[in-house]
Amino acid sequence: MDEARESCLNQLADGLSEHGWMTFDASSFLGPRLLQALAAEMMLLESTDAMKKAGVGRGSDHVQDRSIRRDRIAWLQGITSPQAALFENFERIREGLNQRLFLGLKRFECHYATYRPGDFYRKHLDSFRGRASRVVSLVLYLNEDWQPKDGGELRIFNRDSDHEMCGLVLPEAGRMAVFLSEEIPHEVLPANRTRFSLACWFRQDEVPLPL
Ligand SMILES: O=C(O)CCC(=O)C(=O)O
Ligand SMILES: [Fe+2]
């Protein structure tokens, strides 16, 4: 593995163990062609109405609550060539985190998400504490030239006092936000322009259990 990748994985592991979250520019890690191919795939899904309204809650409690989240999602299967290339990178991240932090991450799942103008996702955790289902969340943004006026930032809260903000991430293409799923409260602020992203969760369970 090349040195740049090693150093990226080291930074990621340090950020997670020290603060529980971190953000970094993954465009050199992934390469501009892969980012463009993923964005093109997503725009195609969005324009053909293949993205479905997302829900909240686990198992049979799963509901579509438009007051909590308004994004549309499509799960990735890893079959198209950009998805296969992305999955290889995520696999390296999974192994890299296991080697450095002994997290025992067994697999990952990912979906594309679009937030149309006005869409948001209120403050939440990605996993319920102690479930060891989703352990690490990773969000990759796919928007060229995102400006502060476009809104749609990911707002990160302090894990010990969740009304205290500790980060604001602009969803610019190639940027990644990574955080501990059970610990870091976060929200997506209303977007003023359609916002494209890809969320991935690294999980400790082998068999798919509800969140
Ligand atoms: O898109 C983002 O910035 C975060 C999305 C999110 O929190 C989620 O899908 O659980
Ligand atoms: Fe989330």
Whether domain 3-58+77-203 has CATH 3.40.50.720:
no
User: Predicted confidence band at 60 (pLDDT cuts at 50, 70, 90)?
Assistant: low
Q: What is the pTM of this model?
A: 0.94
Is ipTM over 0.90?
yes
Q: What is the mean pLDDT of the chain?
A: 92
**Rounded alpha-carbon distances, angstroms, from residue 141 to 51, 163, 191, 210:** 17, 25, 13, 26
Q: Evaluate if residue 61 carries a pLDDT over 80.
A: no
Measured from the alpha carbon of residue 125, the closest ligand is 2
Which numbered atom of ligand 1 lies nearest the CA of 115?
A: 1
pLDDT (tens digit per residue) in 86-119: 999 999 999 999 999 999 999 999 999 999 999 9
| CA angle at 166 for the pair 162 and 172, rounded to the nearest 5° | 120
Domain ranges in the chain are 3-58+77-203
Of 188, 198, 211, the one to substitute when testing ligand 1's pocket (max ligand atoms within 8 A of C-beta) is: 188
> Which candidate, 73, 113, 120, places its Cα nearest to that of 197?
113
